[in-house]
Every structure is written in structure tokens, then in C-alpha cells.
Structure 1
Amino acid sequence: MLHAALQVFYFTKNGELYAMNLTDCRVRVVRLYGVNWFGFETRTFVVHGLWARNWEDMLRQMKSLGFNAIRLPFCTYSVRNGTLPSSINYDLNPDLRGLTSLDIMEKIIAKANELGMYVLLDYHRLGCDEIESLWYSDEVSEDMFIQTWLEVARRLSKYPNVIGADVRNEPWGATWCTGDPATDWRLAVEKVGSRILEVAPHWLIFVEGTYKSKLEVDSRALYPYSLNWGENLRAVYECPVGLPPEKVAYSPHVYGPDVSRQPYFSDPDFPENMPAIWMQNFGYVRASLGFPIVIGEFGGRYGHGGDPRDRAWQDKFVDWLIQNRICGFFYWSWNPNSRDTGGILKDDWLNVWTDKYQNIRRLIEACSTLENLQP
């Protein structure tokens, strides 16, 4: 079982995540071998699969496979007091009967804590139907966005396994380093992140990339590669997030041919051309600047339907992560019902895609052999 919330403090240094036990000041490295378990961000207002399985059984299965972390996406209304979930088989999950969505989220976090599993909270959607372009919308104002985060932090930061806040999923309409407070994601993270840290000072702030930045406007010839939503961290070199650097982890989203139709997937040199692209888009943030990188999402069908090139892409990406000692990730997804990627689980919500899992397992095993670095 992990330390009590008031006894743990998460921080970063030299490209790694750390946890300090405030009782004895012992420090340990934190490596996140995670999965995305989605559903709270949808109109079911709860993680998916509870119509087919018991929720605790799925947590134990994740743990048995070597995963030690879960990214929990949510939307504004799933973390409101009084919101009731749907699509739960209460014969399989009798202890969830009568609980609100937020009650169930807290129950999952508490059980994950018992199992020694970290949780990253991800504000995935403002409404619960689509990924909006910014951190505010006509439906959810910036102030409502901030207040929602503060309410979530007040309730859930008492759990020591909650490592932090992924401030906003894939702000694809935002810019970076433009100085426009209406669109500049870096400025928004500083504003929102500082408020979150006032309530949960022991948390980390996870920062996704954008789709555009000042650099794309001024220097397209220098940055010819297309991008995925959440992948673009090219402007961090010029404009890092202005929060205390020890509280920030950068968290790009990276996808292959099953999800995005990028021209470089058709390059004759594919997949050998990919490492240079990953390094330019986000890898340099750790390699050259020393900030930690935690991959917030990557995944695909791995040859089980979809684009046959996806298997080679995922193999090469895991190779690259191992070579660059990037040992934090959340695979998309645990769920099999992700339309373009599938999941770790097959459609029966029970059995695992063995070959897809074994590729991820290579990364877990390689990272587990690294020395327990001290800051």
C-alpha cells in the first residue's frame, strides 16, 4: 500500500519522476506502466466494461499483467455531485448500486491504492460527447473548468496514489508561445496548474502538447512533419511551462497508421524514419532539456484489423522508448471498445491480445532493469 497523501510528495528531476516519503525523507523513482481505462468522459459517466465484468477483477487483472498505473479520463458532469452512472451490471457489481459516478471513481482510486497502483486524473472532455478544441467552450467556461479541477482535487488528493492532474486532453485548437490568452495553452496550464497545486501541492501537473504553435506559423520549413492531437511539444524549447519545473511532466499523445494518416507512414524508409520525427516533436524535451516525458496515449490494433503497418509502428515506438529510457506511459486502451485502436482486452472484455501485450511487456521489463536512480 502506498503512503498516506500527507506523507508523499511527487516531484521531477533530470527527466525522472520521484516520490518523497515526508515521514522519513526517503526518495524513490516512479515509473508509470499504465493503461487508459475510459468511460467517465462519456455519457455512461463511468468506466466502461462494468456491463461485462466486476470492476475489482479488472483492476486485479491489470496489476497481474504488470501495469502499475491507470489514467482515468473524465468529463465535467461525471465528477459533479449527484451524477448517476449507467451501463452497469449490478449483479456483477453489487457494491456499486446506488453510488454516484464520483463515488465510483473514488472507489476505484481507493482500491488501486490498496493494489499499489497510481492514478492520473485526465480532464478529457468538457461536455461528454466530443474532444473540444480548447480548455473552455460555450458550455463550460474557463472559470467552470478551473472550479471543476479544484473540486476534484479537494475530494481526491487525499489518496496518495493519485500522482497528478493531466490538465486537459488534446487541446487541438490551442497554440503555444503565441501570447494570446484566448488560445495559448502554455499560459492556460500556468494559470490552471498553479490553482490545482494550491489545493494539491503534492501532485504533478501533466502537460500535453498541442496541434499548432508559434513555430509552425513562423518556421514551417524547419518542422515539416505532420502531428497528432496532443503531440506537438516543439515550442517547449523556446517557451517551457512557467510552473516550478519540479512539478511538471510533459505528456504527448502519439499514434501510428491505425489512427492518423500521416505522409511519413508511406515513406520507403518506414518505420526507420520514425525516431527522428518523435525526437523532433517531443523526445528532445527529455533528451536535451531534461524534463520528464510520460506518454499519455499510444496504441493501435497491432495488425488485428486496421492498417497492417501499425504493428511495425508500435514495435519501433517501443524500441525507441527503451533506447531513450522513457519509462512512463499510459497505453490506449484497456478497453476493447476503442473504435480505431481496440484495447489490451479482446471484445469479450476478459482475454488479452497476447502479441500486443508482449510488445508493451518488453518496455516494462526493460525499464524495470534500470537502476533505481536517485535525484
Structure 2
Amino acid sequence: SHFGFNSTILQPQYLWQMGWKDQITQIKSLGFNAIRVPFVPDTLYNTTPVDELSYVVPDLNRDLLGKTPLQVLDLWMAEADRQGMYILLDFHSVSMQTQYQTWFIDNPADFHLIYNNQAYTKDDWIRDLVFVAGRYATLPHFLGIDIYNEPNGVVRWSAGDANMQDAKNFWKPAAEAAATAVLAANPNLLIFVQGITANWDGIENSSIPMNWGENFQPERYQPLDIPSNKLVLSPHTYGPDVYVKSSFSAANFPANLAADWDALFGQFYPEHAVVIGEWGGRYGQGTGGHQDFVWQNALVDYLISKGNPNTFYWDYTPNSGDTGGILDDNLNVIPDKMALLQRLWGAAPPTNQPPSSGSLTVFDDATAPRWALDPWSATSTVQGQVVKSGVSAVEVDATTWGGISFDSRDADWVWTDQPGNLYSSLSFDVSAGPVVGAAMSSLQVSLDLGWGLSAQISNYVPSFAPGVWYHVVVPLSVMNPQSVPFKKIMFQNNAESDLTFYVDNVVLIQ
């Protein structure tokens, strides 16, 4: 998730330090293929230019200056679609000021929360859902709409609670009405429906500790009347950094969590599509301490066991108070969180297992034993100012066609062949540093196997942002289709202008 359009600034967070297009590029470069974008009615109707709602770095966001929130959302949707990112719009609340428990406001004491200081009805909510469904219907990567975020409090699934019989608070018929209208406006969309808190109907187990939006138990006996090929059940679940459940203090924590997840939402997969719409936390650095680290790993283990890696992680930027983001306060990617997500996606081993013995680290703070760093038409420096992780990375200042190679040899120039059929890919982190050189798009990586067998890094990082590191994994088949032995890993400026770039964490992966 990348929030901001739902908050009082009505635009993506951190545009006071980052470029909006660069944010999308970075999210894609990290391996995400979809972004959940929360919005509110204010996003659609507030006409104040976004640069008057919050400071926006002009040089990085010039095309947003003077634009209304809706105009900025239009640009954002088009750019994310252009970059091939799937988009889930999330109707996050009826107000930018607070997370309201229902999809309507009929209490006059709360009218001040609404953009026009009037009641906001169920029909208004459906009108706004239909509006965005139709407005972005031509974007092929517009995936779906999460129709309301975390209905809670007075909300019940449907009839059944003797203490809450007002049908206006029943989520099931409201969600069905919204889905019907949205699909009429845009039949290509998926309808993401969140759960509720306890239904108190005497049928479900209402004593299970649950988050807002997490409980789907009534779906088993009061199923949603939404086409099954369009319905996505989208629970929210959080650990102790966000909400401390009684289950976290149980003697059998975290082994006790899977049964609760099964009851609340897991029982429906794979009968239904189930995509967790929010989860996250500071992963050991927040109020929940190490317990949140344990909880997040337990959820990943659970999802792997269910064969369901599809989730939306909360969130991208660091300023979500209880969870933090994928980026830290210095806007560096947090490697532990990314390793957790890559494990879920199947790109990394479980946390209780060491890296594959077949992986070979070539550079991590220093060149590995029996490897050497050699520049040509360039200078290379192992420095500590611009670093992805650890204490050092390689700075390369290359002239025309210059670059560096990591050579598989010792200090006495005794070379060692690396078997071409042993490794599947080359992994590394790359940055343009504080200033993006015009030639960054020409940077390529190859082995010492001849002209033409190279990987253009721009195929993996479409554009670079100042000071941002990008993790790249290149299949060795791109650079070594015949799987022959090689002795060098080469990074080259393939342009007629000088270029400075930085490389860190170079690993051959089995």
C-alpha cells in the first residue's frame, strides 16, 4: 500500500523529499507487481492544489504543481499503469480526517468530517465508487476496488445480533449493492471486500481476537451474493505493533495463530480468492518488540503453508506511525522487511535456514577471497558514504565505455573458472548516488563472454532516483545462454559521456 491520497494532504506521501514517478519506479524495482492506493471522497472533490496542501519538491514533481488531488490521481494512475504496475483503489474512509467505522455518515455531529459538511449517504458512497470505476476503465492494469476499509464498531455482517438490528449497519447487503453498481460501470474489475469485527450472532466464534476487517466467519453461512470470479475476500491482520491480542500472550504463541487465521479467513482459500489487504509492523523495532518479528514470520509461514503468497503489505513510506514502511526514516529500503517479503514470494529461503550453500558472495563490504576488483577507463573506490547495507560499497567513476570487473582470481593473478551451469542468477544492488548521471540508462552488466551477451540494467530499473538503491536479479541465461565457464563479472558505462554509479552486495545465486 502507498497511502496519502486518503490523508489531509490528498496526494502520495513524501513528495516533500521524493519524486512521484520515482516512487512508483522504486516500488516496482523491489519486486512488487501491484500497489494498493487508498483514497477518500475529499480526493475527488477537493479543488485545492496539492502543493498548497503540502510542500512538494518542485524539481521532482513539477508536473503536479497547481493540480487538484483528482488531477494528481489521474496522473498517478496513468503512470503506474504505464510502468506495468497493477492498481487496487481502496475506498479508505468517508473522511480524510479519520477512519470512520461505516461507509456513510448520518449523525449531524459528524458532518464536519465530510468534504461538504453534509451527510454522506450509502448512495453517495456507491456514486463515488462508480465514478472511479468508470474514470479509469481504460487502464489495463486497473485491477479492482477495495470497496471500504475496515468496517467496524456498529457494523454487523447481516441480521443475527439481537443488540444491533438496524439494517443500515449490515455490511453484506451494502457490499453486494456496491459490487453490483461497480461491475455495471466496469465489468473488468475485481471487488475486494473486507471482513468485519465480531458479528455476535451466536453462530460464529466471536471470542477469537480479531482486527478490524479480519473476520469472515459469517461468509460460511451467509455468503456474499457477488460473482465468485469477481469476489476477493481481503482481511486485514496485524501483530502487536498495531494491536495487542490476547492470543499473543498465550503459552503456545505463535503456534496458536494458524487456527485463528483459519477460522477468520483462511478456511475460504482456495475456494475463494483470499488476499490479505493489510499487514505489517516495524518488525522488531516497534512497540511490540521482538514479538512483532515473530508474528510477521509466523504469518508468512502460514501463507506459505496455504500456498497463497498474494498480499498487500502496509506500507511503502516510513511515516505510518505503528508500522513504519518498506523505507526507513532516511528513505533507505529496510532489507529485513524485503527479505521477509521475498521469502513469501518464493525468492528467498525461510528465516530458520541459511542461504543456499551454492550461493557465492562476490562483494559485501569488500571483495571476497580469491576475487579482485579491477577498473578500466574508470576509477573504483570502496567507500562508506553511499552504501546499501553494511559499511562499504563500490563507487565507480567511469569515462566513455569504462567500468569495473570483479575478477575470479587471487592477488598472484591465479585465475579460477566459475562453472556456468552452477548458478542461476546474478544479484546486486545498484545506485546512481546523489546525482543521476545522464548515462545511467546505458549501464550494463555482463560476463567475460564476448560482445552482445550483456544485460541492460534499465530493463530492471526503468529510471533511477537520486540516492535510491535498487535491487536487481539478472538470470544468468541472459548473459551466458550456453552455460560456459566465466572469470569476470563486468559493469560498464556503455555511453559516450562520463558516469558515476555505485554497486553493492554482488552475489552469484545457485
User: Could you say what secondary structure the match of 1:295 adopts?
Assistant: coil
Q: Say if 1:45 and 1:84, in contact at 8 Å, map to a contact too.
A: no
Match of residue 314, structure 2, among 326, 332, 351:
332
Tell whether 2:286 aligns with 1:305: yes
Distance 2:206 2:43 in 1: 39
Mapping for residues 147-158 of structure 1, pairs under 5 Å: 147-158=127-138
Q: Say if 1:77 and 1:83, in contact at 8 Å, map to a contact too.
A: no
Q: Say if 2:241 and 2:286, in contact at 8 Å, map to a contact too.
A: no
Matched length: 326
TM-score by length of 1: 0.84
Bigger Rg, structure 1 or 2: 2
**Structure 1 letter corresponding to 2:85:** M
Cα displacement string for residues 104-135 of structure 1 (whole angstroms, at most 9, x for unaligned residues): 11211111112211000000010111111111
Distance 1:66 1:331 in 2: 12
**Structure 2 letter corresponding to 1:207:** V
Mapping for residues 131-280 of structure 1, pairs under 5 Å: 131-138=99-106, 139-173=119-153, 174-178=155-159, 181-213=167-199, 216-219=200-203, 222-280=205-263
Cα deviation, residue 365, structure 1 = 2.4
Distance 1:219 1:114 in 2: 47
User: Could you say what secondary structure the match of 2:265 adopts?
Assistant: helix
Cα deviation, residue 74, structure 1 = 0.6
Gaps of 5+ in 1: 1-35, 368-375
Cα deviation, residue 80, structure 1 = 2.2
Cα deviation, residue 212, structure 1 = 2.4
Aligned to 1:358: 339
Q: Say if 2:278 and 2:312, in contact at 8 Å, map to a contact too.
A: yes
User: Could you say what secondary structure the match of 1:63 adopts?
Assistant: helix
Tell whether 2:274 aligns with 1:293: yes
Percentage of matched positions with identical amino acids: 40
Match of residue 130, structure 1, among 98, 110, 119:
98
Q: Say if 2:198 and 2:206, in contact at 8 Å, map to a contact too.
A: no
Distance 2:61 2:41 in 1: 24
Aligned to 1:373: none
Q: Say if 2:286 and 2:323, in contact at 8 Å, map to a contact too.
A: no
Gaps of 5+ in 2: 107-118, 161-165, 349-510
Distance 1:208 1:199 in 2: 21
User: Could you say what secondary structure the match of 1:297 adopts?
Assistant: coil
Structure with the bigger percentage of strand: 2
Aligned to 2:9: 44
Distance 2:176 2:286 in 1: 41
Cα deviation, residue 81, structure 1 = 6.6
Distance 2:247 2:283 in 1: 18
Match of residue 62, structure 2, among 84, 88, 94:
94
Tell whether 2:43 aligns with 1:104: no
Coordinate RMSD, CA, aligned: 1.6
Cα displacement string for residues 39-72 of structure 1 (whole angstroms, at most 9, x for unaligned residues): 1111101111101101111111111110011000
Distance 1:284 1:223 in 2: 16
Cα deviation, residue 89, structure 1 = 2.0
Match of residue 342, structure 1, among 308, 324, 345:
324
Distance 1:306 1:355 in 2: 17
TM-score by length of 2: 0.62
Cα deviation, residue 339, structure 1 = 0.7
User: Could you say what secondary structure the match of 2:169 adopts?
Assistant: coil
Q: Compare 101-110 and 333-342 and name the one that shifted more.
A: 101-110
Q: Say if 2:191 and 2:231, in contact at 8 Å, map to a contact too.
A: yes
More relative contact order, 1 or 2 (CA 8 Å, 6+ apart): 1
Cα deviation, residue 223, structure 1 = 4.4
**Structure 2 letter corresponding to 1:60:** T
Aligned to 1:320: 302
User: Could you say what secondary structure the match of 1:182 adopts?
Assistant: helix
Aligned to 2:18: 53
Cα displacement string for residues 207-228 of structure 1 (whole angstroms, at most 9, x for unaligned residues): 0000122xx33146x4431110
Distance 1:335 1:182 in 2: 36
